[in-house]
Amino acid sequence: MYYLHGTSQINDQGRLEIGGVDTKKLTEEFGTPLFVYDEALIRQRCREYVDAFRASGFQFQVAYASKAFCVKAMCRIVAEEGMSLDVVSDGELYTALEAGFPAERIHFHGNNKTPEEIEMAIDAKIGCFVVDNFSELPVLNSIAAEKRQNVNVLLRITPGVEAHTHEFISTGQTDSKFGFDLGNGSAYKAVEEASKLSSLTILGVHSHIGSQIFEVEGFRMAAERVADFAVQVRSELQVTFKVINLGGGFGIRYVEGHTPLPVAVYVKAITDAVRENFSSNDYPLPAIWVEPGRSIVGDAGTTLYTVGTTKDIPGVRKYVAVDGGMTDNPRPALYDSEYEAVLANRATEPAEEVVSIAGKCCESGDMLIWDLSLPKVENGDILAVSCTGAYNYAMASNYNRIRRPAVVFVKDGHADLIVKRESYKDIIGNDVIPERMKQANQ
């Protein structure tokens, strides 16, 4: 059953409408595939985090993990909502700076920041680096020293907490490419080393226990371990953490059976856990930072496709192909992710058949949804797939030289183009034919 949320509703013509705009009109104006973002819902999610932290009395920063969906207009919304921004590459940093995002609210993540990326970020005067490993520490320190700048750092630790989630997207356990391990003493050593580096200021520690998490226990455990570590480090190394960053990973509802908690419940569990564990140790209460990505933009995004061909294999399966696929949504192929969809142009008609939605790439694994109940599907119908706002456009590719879709924000009956559909020129824009081949062709 398609789940209507945010400003999505079915209008009098029986068509899906988002942000007060008929999806049929959107496809006529912008073509398909098309990413449609419910701007009011994005802002609502931002405010749920900010309001919940305000109510807690803690100092805080809510940093949107821009990797979920990083384009200039999105950075603008995040800035307007008073939040901070995580970047993990020069490209994301460049996007944020070009959007005019306040540099002091940008945090730089990643397990392999290049010296060029570090220079770019220091030159921009970003707020903080989240240091991931021992190789990074001296490089960051020496570049900062060369530039006569002091940089703020959080040290990313792996607290050994496993969130219940798909194994490909979990990062909190000991065997991880990310962070300094708490259990084997690496985290302790990292604080010791970083505190000796004169161009770095340790703000505190960071932990991210996974993604698409539906319970609070993992965050509570992480807060407890971080607090124990903070107490040890303060008494033995005389380093006091002013910031505790507990990462992102708050789950959303993609399909029935996914049961995310309200944002305020996650935030309360986190702030309560930090308060209990730090105050019981007589430790000055740190600021709390979090980094939601998926839960800010995931359910605000819907992808509209046009139905093309069908292939009915009697007694086996009926394939319905759409004009996109793994190029705009690689998550089913990568993680077996599930999605819900509706025929947007005939949203009130009863289901008549069970079909599977295929993409148009030359790849058998290019499937979007298995066994979906729909009215009798016809060529030209519009298929709306919900909850495609996070890690879809961000992971889109040009495989098969398919042009990346356009993206629109809809709100109060208006649609604004925020990313143009790629052109044929864009597709070949970086191709170069060497002189010798040009001549050989004449």
Ligand X SMILES: *Cc1c(COP(=O)(O)O)cnc(C)c1O
Q: Does 159 bind ligand X (CB under 6 A)?
A: no
117 labeled binding residue: no
Q: Does 65 bind ligand X (CB under 6 A)?
A: yes
291 labeled binding residue: yes
217-237 and 186-196 helices, crossing angle to 10°: 50
Q: E strands along 235-352, which residues?
A: 243-245, 287-290, 301-313, 317-322, 341-343
* Residues of this chain, 250-279, that bind ligand X according to CB under 6 A: 250
Cβ proximity to ligand X, 160 vs 293, nearer residue: 293
Q: Which residue is nearest to ligand X (CB)?
A: 293
363 labeled binding residue: yes
Q: Does 248 bind ligand X (CB under 6 A)?
A: yes
Query: How far is it, in rounded angstroms, from Cα 206 to Cα 248?
Result: 11
Q: Does 249 bind ligand X (CB under 6 A)?
A: yes
H or E segment and range at residue 411: strand 406-411
Does 362 participate in catalysis according to the annotation?
A: yes
**Residue in this structure with the two tokens 């192909």, named with its chain if needed:** 321
Give the contacts of 431 (CB within 8 A, at least 6 positions apart): none
172 labeled binding residue: no
Q: Does 109 bind ligand X (CB under 6 A)?
A: yes
- Per-residue contact string for residues 406-425; x = within reach of ligand X by CB under 6 A: --------------------
Query: How far is it, in rounded angstroms, from Cα 192 to Cα 197?
Result: 9
Q: Measure the CA angle with vertex 217, ends 211 and 219; round to 5°.
A: 55
Nearest to 151 by CA among 120, 172, 185, 189: 120
Spatial contact of 332 and 369, defined as CB atoms under 8 Å apart: yes
Q: How far is the CB of 107 from ligand X (least distance, A)?
A: 9
Tokens of 254: 């993609």
Question: Could you give phi then psi for residue 389, rounded to 5 degrees?
Answer: -80, -25
Amino acid present at 280 = S
Tokens of 48: 């749920």
Tokens of 65: 């993990």
Catalytic residue among 128, 361, 362, 387: 362
Q: How far is the CB of 295 from ligand X (least distance, A)?
A: 6
43 labeled binding residue: no
Q: Collapsing DSSP states into helix, strand and coil, what is residue 68?
A: helix
Q: Does 211 bind ligand X (CB under 6 A)?
A: yes
Among 6, 260, 293, 301, binds ligand X (CB under 6 A): 293
Instruction: Return the bridge partners of 407, or none.
Output: 35, 419
Cβ proximity to ligand X, 16 vs 78, nearer residue: 78
Query: How far is it, in rounded angstroms, from Cα 408 to Cα 417?
Result: 4
Among 7, 66, 199, 295, binds ligand X (CB under 6 A): 295
Cβ proximity to ligand X, 154 vs 355, nearer residue: 154
Cβ proximity to ligand X, 113 vs 208, nearer residue: 208
* Residues of this chain, 134-153, that bind ligand X according to CB under 6 A: none
335 labeled binding residue: yes
294 labeled binding residue: yes
Q: How far is the CB of 35 from ligand X (least distance, A)?
A: 17
Spatial contact of 160 and 225, defined as CB atoms under 8 Å apart: yes
Cβ proximity to ligand X, 395 vs 427, nearer residue: 395
Query: How far is it, in rounded angstroms, from Cα 331 to Cα 137?
Result: 33
Cβ proximity to ligand X, 210 vs 324, nearer residue: 210
Contact stretch for ligand X (CB under 6 A) within 113-121, 253-261, 290-298, 425-433: 290-298
Positions annotated as catalytic residues are: 362
- Give binding residues for substrate as ranges: 294, 331, 335, 363, 391
- Give binding residues for pyridoxal 5'-phosphate as ranges: 249, 291-294, 391
What does the binding site for ligand X look like in residue numbers (CB under 6 A)?
65, 67-68, 109, 208, 211, 247-250, 291-295, 390
